Amino acid sequence: MLISTTAEMLNGKVEGIQADPGLKGPFTTDITDPYQLNTLYGYTLKPDSPLRNKGLDLKSILGIDLPKIDFYGNPVPSGSGSEPGVHELKQQNQEL
């Protein structure tokens, strides 16, 4: 088995995070309508998630603009940086 030694690297620096992302849960649903996927709040981050503000600055790295809102309709970024993935946490002083 071949294991990559350069995974999660950017400019020779490890950028990946190996941690429990701190999702709210539960991870069960009875949703059958794909237009209701944005109601899967169990897949949102807890306020103390280790992913808070750990997203890469894709604009400076790849020239890619961040979206204006995340999957759940939250503004991106909200705080000193974005979160990786589909959920952007609100600033600490806002309701989470």
Upstream peptide bond of 26 is cis (omega within 30 degrees of 0): yes
Task: Name residue, tokens 């991870």.
Answer: 27
How do the pLDDT tens digits run along the chain, 96 residues long? 656 666 677 788 887 888 899 999 998 889 999 999 989 999 999 999 999 998 888 888 889 998 999 999 999 888 888 899 899 998 765 544
Dig out the tokens for 27 from the structure.
């991870």
Buried b vs exposed e over 58-69: b needs ≥16 C-beta within 10 Å?
A: eeeeeeeeeeee
Q: Give the pLDDT of residue 49.
A: 94
CA-closest candidate to residue 71, choices 60, 56, 84: 84
Q: Residue 95: what pLDDT?
A: 47
Give pLDDT, residue 50: 93
Q: How far apart are CA 63 and CA 59, in angstroms?
A: 4
**Per-residue model confidence (pLDDT) at position 13:** 81
- The SS3 assignment for 20 reads coil
pTM above 0.85, yes or no: no
